[in-house]
A = this chain, B = another copy of it.
Amino acid sequence: MTTVETGTTVGIREVAEHSGLSVDALRWYERERLLPRAPRGPDGRRRYPERLVGFVRLVVALRRTGMPVADVREFVTLADEGAASHGRRMALLERQRENILRQQAQLADDLAAVGHKIGHYRELIVAGLDCEGLPVAPEVAAAQRLTTVQTERTAS
C-alpha cells in the first residue's frame, strides 16, 4: 500500500470511533501487521489518510466475519506487493465471500430454530400447558406467562 499522504488525515481516536475497534486494538493491529503502518505527524501521533481508513474498515469486516488474524496478516502482506498481488488478494477475498455466504445460511437456520422454539413456548403459554402437554396448575399459570428475567445482567 503506497501511501501518498495528501488530503485529510484523522487521528487514532476518530478511527477507533468509526471502525468499532478500540484505540488499543488499532495499535495492536498495527504491531501485529494486521494493518499497514499509519504515518506519524510531527508530534509522533498516527495520522490515518483516507485510504487507510477505508482499509481499516475492510479489515474490521474481515475480522468480524471470522477471518483469523493470520489470514488477515497474509492479506495485508500481499497488499505491500502492489499491483502484482491484485489477483491473489482478490482470490483471498473471494474465499472469504464464500465463508460469509455459508455463515448467512447457518444464521438463517439458527434463526429458524430459535424462532421455532419461541413459537413452541408461546403455544404452551396460550394453552396453559406444560412440556408434557398437561395443564399447568393454577398457581403456576401466572408464572408461566412472566417474561421478566430477574438477573443482574438486566441492570447493567
| Residues of chain A whose beta carbon lies under 8 Å from any beta carbon of chain B | 1-2, 4, 57-58, 61-62, 64-65, 70-71, 74, 78, 82-94, 96-97, 100-101, 103-104, 106-111, 113-115, 117-118, 121-122, 124-125, 129-132, 136, 140, 143-149, 151, 153
Q: Check B90–A122 contact: CB distance below 8 A.
A: yes
- Cα A90 to Cα B146 with chains together (Å): 9
For A124, give the chain B residue with the smallest CB separation: B86
Q: Which of B92, B104, B132 contacts A2 (CB under 8 A)? A: B132
Give the distance to chain B from A146, nearest Cβ to Cβ, in Å. 5
Question: Across the interface, which residues of B come within 8 angstroms of A143, CB to CB?
Answer: 83-85, 87
Smallest CB–CB gap between A79 and chain B, Å? 9
Contact A58 B113 (CB under 8 A): yes
**Cα A106 to Cα B61 with chains together (Å):** 9
A91 engages B61 (CB within 8 Å): no
- Which residues in B have their C-beta under 8 angstroms from that of A101? 111
Can you list 16 A-B contacts with CB-CB less than 8 angstroms, sorted by A residue number?
A: A2-B131, A74-B149, A82-B130, A83-B129, A83-B131, A83-B136, A85-B146, A87-B125, A87-B143, A89-B121, A91-B147, A91-B148, A93-B117, A97-B118, A104-B107, A104-B108
